[in-house]
Structure 1
Amino acid sequence: MQVKGSSCLDAQLSDICISTSAAPTYLPAHYFKTQDNKGNVREYNLIDGGVAANNPTLVAISEVTKQVIENNPDFFPIKPMDYARYLVISIGTGAAKIEQKYNGKMAAKWGVLGWLIHGGSTPLVDVFTQSSGDMVDFHNSVVFQALHSEENYLRIQEDTLTGTEASVDVATKANLEKLVKIGENLLKKPVSRVNLETGLHKPVENAGTNEDALKRFARLLCNERRLRELRSPLTSKALTNKAQASSLNVVHHIVIP
């Protein structure tokens, strides 16, 4: 959306993919630059955005809300807090199974190294990434439920990964095939929602599977696209021209035996 207002933001897809994959300690930071039609150059020095927004759902919602506030005709006449008109699909990249590996007594004895490396894992990184992602999910669940629009927010996440499945940098063929299988199985699992008392995900009664929910969202999005196309001046003009052409064809067939 922001690219329309600044062509310097129109970066190549390859640069975007490399940047969003540049997780610290795993892959190097990425530098590139863009240039607009006036010759203005903008430099980028980027790392994985997960450092700031491990679950970017709120970022996406904020971008849509900004467009509503700025009276983007595509969103008229939606109000900024009209969550009944928001459709949010949040798909996680998988998380390690919660094993309660740490406790207060253990952490109280850790120094800098203990927080960075303990038992083959990185407690500090685990705390930051998992907590920030979970807080976004919890916040969205609270807001959508409070506004009676909980069916418009779908969170799909596999949080029982173990071993190499939960690793960020094991790209062997065997592990990738295993992850594909995990994703396929995840589609068959029931839709779940955060329990606001415990903070844990619980299956939603009579909500079907994740696959069912995605199909429902797809139908809603297709219907919304058709409505927007009908409201668009360009589409209306195209439909008028098509109707005129169709009328001419009908006349043609009537006149000529």
Structure 2
Amino acid sequence: MRCTCGCMQALLSISVATKLAEEDPAFASIRSLNLKKMLLLSLGTGTNSEFDKTYTANETAKWGIFQWKSVIQPMLDAASSYMTDYYLSTVFQALDSQDNYLRVQENALTGTTTDMVDASVANMELLKQVGEKLLKKPVSKDNPETYEQALTRFAQLLVDRKNLRANKASS
């Protein structure tokens, strides 16, 4: 199972940016959590496709601590990631800034692609293929935009912001 704490780091980055805005006049526009002035790209390491497998009461009644630990920790990690992503999405939408937040993560990893210590050439090739397939998938059920389109749009937003800052600096 891969660590899915990237969303927590995304949430922390909003907190840090807001705190820095209080201290630095250059960031005054985000003091009031003006998410229209922030861009947040959250990259996940992926989750195992079986993290949400269901178990029967009869099956789990026979489990020991190690079986419970192997199931509970991945579930908690995934739940934390999903809830943080949901929170960030909701906040960005509520503040009319939904295009300024993008979470990219594959939630159906299988086999060796779930092993973070397998840096073999074969596994790196598999992960590359996973990434290429992910680019073609829609961002969500509600958003038909593919990850490739969303990342391209996001990159353009970054370029536009950089150019705007450069123009303000040269004025």
TM-score, normalised to structure 2's length? 0.83
Which structure 2 residues correspond to residues 175-190 of structure 1 after superposition, within 5 A? 175-190=123-138
Which structure 2 residues correspond to residues 30-49 of structure 1 after superposition, within 5 A? none
Tell me the equivalent position of 2:45. 93
Percent sequence identity over matched residues? 40
RMSD: 2.3
Whether 2:17 is the aligned partner of 1:64: answer yes
Structure 2, unmatched stretches of 5+, are none
Tell me the equivalent position of 2:159. 222
Distance 1:98 1:203, change over 3 A: farther
Equivalent pair of 2:137/2:146 in contact (CA under 8 Å)? yes
Distance 1:54 1:87, change over 3 A: closer
Whether 2:118 is the aligned partner of 1:170: answer yes
Structure ranking higher on relative contact order (CA contacts 8 Å, 6+ apart): 2
Equivalent pair of 1:94/1:159 in contact (CA under 8 Å)? yes
Equivalent pair of 1:54/1:129 in contact (CA under 8 Å)? no
Report the AA paired with residue 168 of structure 1.
Answer: M
How far off is 1:99 after superposition?
Answer: 5.7
- The number of residue pairs the alignment matches comes to 167
Tell me which structure has the larger Cα radius of gyration. 1
Partner deviation per Cα, 1:72-129 (whole Å, 9 max, x = no partner): 233233333212222111111111114643436244543322223xxxxx21321232
Partners of 1:80 and 1:109 in 2: CA distance: 52
Partners of 1:76 and 1:99 in 2: CA distance: 42
Structure 1, unmatched stretches of 5+, are 1-49, 117-121, 193-201, 237-257
Report the AA paired with residue 143 of structure 2.
Answer: V
Give the helix-richer structure, 1 or 2. Answer: 2
Whether 2:73 is the aligned partner of 1:125: answer yes
Report the AA paired with residue 148 of structure 1.
Answer: D
Partners of 2:51 and 2:155 in 1: CA distance: 35
Whether 2:103 is the aligned partner of 1:150: answer no
Partner deviation per Cα, 1:111-159 (whole Å, 9 max, x = no partner): 322223xxxxx21321232122112111111212222222221111111
Report the AA paired with residue 163 of structure 2.
Answer: R
Partners of 1:210 and 1:141 in 2: CA distance: 16
Whether 2:156 is the aligned partner of 1:204: answer no
Q: Which is further off, 101-110 or 78-87? A: 101-110
Equivalent pair of 1:94/1:161 in contact (CA under 8 Å)? yes
Give the strand-richer structure, 1 or 2. Answer: 1
How far off is 1:228 after superposition?
Answer: 1.9
Partners of 1:88 and 1:54 in 2: CA distance: 12
- SS of structure 2 residue aligned to 1:76: helix
